[in-house]
């Protein structure tokens, strides 16, 4: 075999080659890059701000009043909790239609134990969570180990768990819960540190949150610089922290002028942070994205696909139970029809928040913003006295447009390849 | 005498960046069986797609004359209208529909009021089945038939369309000997009825047995058309036409110092996941540290199946045989076990099986060994970036940063990401399946250089490739695979393209 001089290895790269150091510490192009890098994500934030502003104008500022902001948090918290689990399910390329029924079943379990049997309130919560985990394990088993599509498994679950709810409740509503249980959804931390008409504790938590955000952002920044990674310019970093800080403090200020810090908001915040980190930084979370992005490639990379799918559904069951506790606490009882159609709100939140129909894409924060968009719209239209039928039409159209935007984006990305 | 039913004149078809066909001409006489052969990727299928209108007129240069008339097909319906029917290698039947429904799909037998007249359809289907020698009830679902019978249904479907020119793409690739025999017999019968056939095939004995003429295509160009009537053209003569090319690809120099044996596979046997046939048949091979071993085989020889079944039983069923790493027998029953044992496998189809195209370089590189970057289940994102950044530099991946989405990279750079991913698992042996498919010459050279660097560092490398010059250029030893069996082993010094091709097309010796 003749071995000769190589030809010029001059493959044209698909994108212009930029030395990484050139982007280091430069800020001017960063902002545009920040926006354009993920239009799908940033588009959602822009849409959210626009919708908030729109309804603030349409309702003459009522939608931003302290009382109303508190209301939105209380009213939609359980949907947001469900959306956290749902976005993970959707990233892996599945769907869960049963969460509404699971909310009902877990709430009913808790109500039977606490209201009917007179057991302490915390027994009800633990039992509800246990039922949620069991439901998740059941569905995870069928999806992951038997290989039934999640659509079918959870459609069956929707009927199954609704039926079990009716059985458990014996077809009647139960109420009321003891006051401690009610506090989960309608309790506030107020006046712990005093304050004249405003709650100092809420403001303090707001300050702590902003400080924590700034600190962790700064630490990430330092680490990235240590690893010689491009970072945004320092002024831009400060601007970002200030912007987030202003929004958070405005929010805290409004809450402090209403009833204080809702307990359910604390629960929600803990879940969002925990799941944000899990999806981003844990091996499990990363395998979820890998499975959704390319199942075959993930399998051939040694990802234990079955185990990951199983735990995704166990987790969804757990979060459904958390939502079930919050909902039963908020409605101060358990009803056979509780949680009806919640799955659709949770699914809509995930998709509006940028999750891809084909899997592999989506974020917890995106799903939260998606959920809030739905919440602000529903709430705003209620304030305006828009008819329920119109509300439904508008929500349906928003969901359709959001996914159409996603599909359009993907097609454009595909053609530029 | 020269009554050509089909003439394709100087067909040129380009895809972005690749010239798939260049000035190809093909003349087929009325009533003959015309074979087309050439290596994988030579352009045979592209030519047939041009002919059948899959690539519509205007997307290629050149002229097609059918029955003496210039044809400009806008789609497959147009070519079927004049009587050209193509039967693809992957059969296009709907498994849950009956034989009759499949035969008349898109061409339904209508009765009164535009509704389908099932009695008429089934009766006609029964006639067609008889003419192809298939003894089945027309209402049987196609999925219940074996591949051989499905092939016959496809031919019956073609006959229902009043076919004049039948094109078969690798018709016997998936068939056993009896079914192949029957199919070839049927082609002869059709010929007697005046139907012209074009057959694309790798099986040279079949070509010499039934065709009148054979056209050889190489690298998108017509090499020659040989008449098989005189009986002088042998399989060897055809092989020479298929491989006799100038060496226009170049390979980096490497000194070979094979060391200890790393991987040994003994008696490896794999059954097809759904059909009752062996895809890999008692294959044994070994590879040493610092050695590049090639596996040569034509399409359907079982190369990928062999590799994937070794890699954590990712393919097939009823797998038997033994795997030894460094002389010790190991079990690799799942992909993660195989990775733990030091085996890595880079797939043939990197887009479908190798990469998460919607993710960035960083996350693709870490995908197979995420545990190495994690402590107690938490991934160190900065360390991950560093690993990806190191790969980007050492592999010369051309991308603005490791955050670039892999789907937007060129084929060569995608392949470098795949290699980076497997190198990060720190394997002892790498099985590379078609590592340079679909990438340009410059990037190929870089891939070869990377392979050389790996063996210099003491890794063992197995390369599966359809390109014989490539195997001869980079390997130390080459095994040939035909119909799932290892038919030969040659050191690169003794091997030639001709000797390999002869082994690759070697049929099972008649038993008894």
Among A407, A403, A381, CA closest to A394: A381
Task: Point out the least confidently predicted range of A31-40, A325-334, A388-397, B395-404.
Answer: A31-40
Output the pLDDT for position A415: 42
Contact list, A9 vs chain B (CB under 8 Å): 442-443, 445-446
Residues A183 and A67 in one domain: yes
Domains delineated in chain B: 1-83+198-245 (3.40.50.300), 84-163 (no CATH), 258-342+428-507 (3.40.50.300), 351-426 (no CATH)
Contact list, B252 vs chain A (CB under 8 Å): 3, 6
Residue A16 falls within a domain, yes or no? Answer: no
A360:B359 CB<8 A: yes
User: What's B297-364 look like in SS3?
Assistant: ECCCCCHHHHHHHHCCCCCCEEEEEEEEECCEEECCCCHHHHHHCCEEEECCCHHHHHCCCCCEHHHH
In whole angstroms, give the CA distance from residue B172 to residue B170.
6
Are residues B212 and B231 in contact, defined by beta-carbon separation less than 8 angstroms? no
Enumerate residues 6+ apart whose C-beta is below 8 A from B135.
Answer: B129
Cis-peptide, bond into residue B446, ω within 30° of zero = no
Enumerate residues 6+ apart whose C-beta is below 8 A from A46.
Answer: none
Residues A218 and A238 in one domain: yes
Residues A46 and A185 in one domain: yes
Please compute the mean of the pLDDT values over residues A168-179 and round it to a whole number. Answer: 91
Residue from A301, A307, A363, A416 to probe the interface with B (highest B Cβ count within 10 Å): A301
pLDDT digits (tens, 9 = 90+) for A64-97: 888 898 889 888 999 999 999 999 999 999 999 9
In this predicted structure, the answer to whether residue B223 has a pLDDT above a threshold of 50 is: yes
Residue A231 falls within a domain, yes or no? Answer: yes
Contact list, A2 vs chain B (CB under 8 Å): 247
In whole angstroms, give the CA distance from residue B237 to residue A298.
45
Tell me how far apart the terminal alpha carbons of chain B are, to the nearest angstrom: 45
B400:A416 CB<8 A: no
Residue from B359, B395, B427, B431 to probe the interface with A (highest A Cβ count within 10 Å): B359
In whole angstroms, give the CA distance from residue B42 to residue A164.
63
Are residues A78 and A326 in contact, defined by beta-carbon separation less than 8 angstroms? yes
- More confidently predicted of B203 and A417: B203
CATH of the domain at A128: 1.10.3470
Contact list, A276 vs chain B (CB under 8 Å): none
Minimal Cβ distance to B355: which of A9, A11, A294: A294
Residues A396 and A290 in one domain: yes
Enumerate residues 6+ apart whose C-beta is below 8 A from B331.
Answer: B323, B337
Residue A10 falls within a domain, yes or no? Answer: no
CB pairs under 8 A between A and B: 154
Q: Other C-beta atoms within 10 Å of A344: how many? A: 15
Output the pLDDT for position A343: 93
Output the pLDDT for position B247: 46
Task: Point out the least confidently predicted range of B281-285, B293-297, B445-449.
Answer: B445-449
Residues A87 and A47 in one domain: yes
Residue A19 falls within a domain, yes or no? Answer: no
Enumerate residues 6+ apart whose C-beta is below 8 A from A104.
Answer: A161, A162, A165, A324, A334, A335, A336, A337, A338, A339, A340
Minimal Cβ distance to A283: which of B356, B357, B379: B379
Are residues A406 and A47 in contact, defined by beta-carbon separation less than 8 angstroms? no
B443:A9 CB<8 A: yes
Among the candidates A258, A280, A295, a domain finishes at A258
Among the candidates A224, A239, A258, a domain finishes at A258
Residue A416 falls within a domain, yes or no? Answer: no
B367:A14 CB<8 A: no
Residue A24 falls within a domain, yes or no? Answer: no
Residues A182 and A318 in one domain: yes
Residues A160 and A203 in one domain: no
Burial A274-311 (b: 16+ CB within 10 A, else e): ebbebbbbbbbbbbbbbbbbbbebbbbbbbebeebbbb
pLDDT digits (tens, 9 = 90+) for B416-474: 999 999 999 999 999 999 898 777 667 788 899 999 999 999 999 999 987 888 899 89
Q: Residue for token digits 């401690």?
A: A180
The alpha carbon of B419 is separated from its chain's Cα centroid by a whole number of angstroms, namely 22
Task: Point out the least confidently predicted range of A227-231, A289-293, A380-384, B399-403.
Answer: A227-231
In this predicted structure, the answer to whether residue A371 has a pLDDT above a threshold of 90 is: yes
In whole angstroms, give the CA distance from residue A134 to residue A318.
9
CB of A298 within 8 Å of any CB in chain B?
yes
In whole angstroms, give the CA distance from residue B481 to residue B444.
24
Sheet holding B278-288, edge to edge: B278-288, B261-271, B317-325, B328-330
Residues A43 and A75 in one domain: yes
Domain residues for A387? 39-190+262-406
In whole angstroms, give the CA distance from residue B346 to residue B419.
7
CB of A281 within 8 Å of any CB in chain B?
yes
In whole angstroms, give the CA distance from residue A220 to residue A235.
16
Are residues B5 and B66 in contact, defined by beta-carbon separation less than 8 angstroms? yes
Residues A82 and A206 in one domain: no
Residues A215 and A318 in one domain: no
Helix (H) or strand (E) holding A57: helix A39-58
Residues A174 and A303 in one domain: yes
pLDDT averaged over chain B? 87
Residues A239 and A367 in one domain: no
Are residues B191 and B32 in contact, defined by beta-carbon separation less than 8 angstroms? yes
* Number of folded domains that form chain A: 2
Burial B79-92 (b: 16+ CB within 10 A, else e): bbeebbbbbbeebe
Minimal Cβ distance to A13: which of B358, B370, B413: B413
Contact list, B345 vs chain A (CB under 8 Å): 300
Instruction: Return the percentage of chain B with pLDDT > 90, whole number.
Output: 34
Are residues B456 and B257 in contact, defined by beta-carbon separation less than 8 angstroms? no
């Amino acid at each position: 075999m003749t071995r000769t001089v190589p030809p010029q290895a001059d493959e044209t790269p698909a994108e212009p080659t930029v030395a990484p150091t050139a982007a280091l510490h430069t800020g001017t192009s960063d902002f545009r890059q920040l926006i354009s890098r993920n239009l799908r994500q940033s588009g959602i934030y822009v849409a959210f701000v626009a919708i908030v502003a729109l309804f603030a104008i349409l309702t003459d500022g009522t939608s931003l009043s302290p009382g109303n902001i508190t209301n939105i948090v209380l009213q939609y918290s359980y949907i947001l909790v469900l959306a956290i689990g749902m976005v993970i399910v959707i990233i892996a390329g599945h769907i869960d239609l049963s969460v509404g029924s699971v909310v009902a079943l877990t709430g009913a379990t808790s109500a039977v134990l606490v209201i009917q049997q007179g057991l302490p309130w915390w027994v009800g919560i633990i039992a509800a969570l246990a039922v949620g985990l069991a439901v998740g394990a059941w569905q995870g088993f069928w999806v992951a180990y038997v290989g039934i599509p999640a659509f079918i498994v959870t459609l069956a679950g929707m009927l199954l768990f609704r039926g079990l709810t009716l059985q458990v409740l014996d077809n009647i509503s139960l109420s009321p819960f003891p006051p401690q249980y009610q506090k989960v959804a309608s309790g506030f931390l107020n006046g712990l540190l005093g304050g004249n008409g405003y709650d100092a504790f809420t403001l303090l938590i707001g300050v702590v949150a902003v400080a924590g955000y700034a600190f962790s952002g700064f630490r990430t920044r330092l680490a990235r610089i240590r690893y010689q990674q491009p970072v945004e310019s320092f002024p831009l970093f400060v601007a970002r922290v200030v912007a987030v800080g202003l929004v958070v403090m405005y929010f805290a200020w409004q809450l402090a002028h209403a009833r204080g810090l809702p307990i359910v908001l604390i629960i929600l915040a803990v879940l969002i942070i925990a799941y944000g980190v899990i999806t981003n930084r844990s091996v499990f979370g990363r395998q979820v994205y890998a499975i959704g992005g390319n199942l075959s490639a993930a399998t051939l990379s040694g990802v234990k696909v079955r185990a990951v799918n199983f735990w995704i559904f166990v987790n969804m069951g757990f979060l459904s139970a958390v939502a079930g506790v919050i909902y039963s606490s908020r409605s101060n009882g358990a009803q056979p029809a509780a949680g009806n159609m919640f799955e659709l709100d949770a699914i809509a939140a995930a998709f509006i928040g940028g999750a891809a129909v084909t899997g592999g894409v989506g974020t917890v924060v995106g799903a939260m913003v998606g959920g809030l968009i739905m919440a602000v719209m529903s709430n705003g239209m209620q304030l305006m006295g828009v008819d329920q039928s119109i509300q439904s039409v508008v929500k349906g159209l928003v969901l359709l447009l959001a996914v159409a935007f996603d599909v359009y984006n993907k097609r454009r990305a595909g053609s530029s390849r | 005498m020269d009554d050509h039913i089909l003439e394709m004149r100087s067909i040129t078809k380009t895809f972005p960046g690749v010239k798939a066909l260049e000035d190809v001409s093909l003349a087929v006489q009325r009533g003959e069986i015309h074979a087309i052969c050439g290596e994988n990727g030579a352009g045979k299928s592209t030519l047939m797609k041009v002919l059948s209108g899959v690539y519509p007129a205007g997307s290629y240069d050149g002229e097609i004359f059918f029955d003496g008339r210039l044809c400009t097909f806008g789609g497959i319906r147009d070519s079927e209208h004049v009587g050209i029917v193509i039967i693809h290698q992957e059969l296009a039947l709907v498994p849950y529909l009956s034989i009759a429904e499949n035969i008349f799909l898109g061409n339904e037998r209508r009765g009164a009021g535009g509704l389908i007249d099932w009695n008429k359809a089934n009766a006609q289907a029964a006639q067609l089945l008889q003419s192809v020698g298939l003894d089945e009830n027309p209402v049987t679902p196609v999925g219940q038939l074996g591949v051989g019978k499905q092939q016959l249904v496809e031919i019956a479907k073609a006959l229902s369309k009043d076919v004049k020119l039948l094109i078969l793409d690798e018709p016997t690739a998936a068939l056993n000997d009896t079914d192949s025999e029957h199919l070839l017999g049927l082609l002869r019968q059709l010929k007697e009825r005046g139907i012209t056939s074009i057959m694309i095939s790798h099986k040279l004995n079949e070509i010499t047995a039934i065709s009148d003429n054979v056209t050889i295509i190489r690298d998108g160009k017509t090499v020659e058309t040989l008449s098989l009537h005189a009986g002088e053209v042998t399989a060897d003569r055809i092989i020479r036409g298929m491989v006799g090319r100038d060496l226009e690809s170049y390979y980096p120099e490497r000194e070979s110092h094979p060391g200890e044996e790393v991987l040994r596979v003994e008696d490896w046997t794999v059954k097809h996941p759904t059909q009752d046939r062996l895809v890999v048949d008692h294959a044994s091979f070994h590879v040493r540290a610092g050695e590049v071993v090639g596996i040569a085989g034509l399409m359907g020889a079982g190369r990928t199946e062999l590799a994937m079944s070794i890699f954590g039983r990712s393919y097939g069923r009823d797998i038997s045989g033994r795997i030894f790493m460094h002389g010790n027998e190991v079990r690799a029953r799942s992909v993660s076990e195989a990775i733990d044992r030091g085996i890595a496998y880079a797939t043939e189809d990197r887009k479908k099986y190798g990469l998460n195209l919607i993710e960035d370089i960083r996350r693709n590189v870490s995908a197979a060994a995420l545990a190495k970057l994690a402590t107690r289940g938490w991934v160190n994102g900065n360390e991950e970036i560093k690993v990806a950044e190191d790969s980007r530099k050492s592999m010369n991946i051309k991308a603005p940063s490791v955050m670039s989405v892999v789907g937007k990279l060129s084929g060569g750079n995608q392949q470098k990401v795949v290699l980076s991913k497997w190198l990060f698992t720190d394997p002892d042996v790498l099985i590379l399946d078609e590592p340079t498919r679909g990438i340009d010459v410059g990037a190929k050279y870089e891939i070869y250089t990377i392979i050389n660097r790996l063996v210099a560092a003491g890794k063992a490398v197995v390369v599966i490739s359809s390109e014989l010059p490539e195997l001869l250029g980079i390997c130390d030893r080459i095994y040939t695979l035909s119909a799932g069996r290892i038919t030969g082993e040659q050191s690169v010094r003794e091997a030639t393209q001709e000797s390999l091709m002869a082994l690759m097309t070697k049929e099972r010796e008649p038993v008894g």
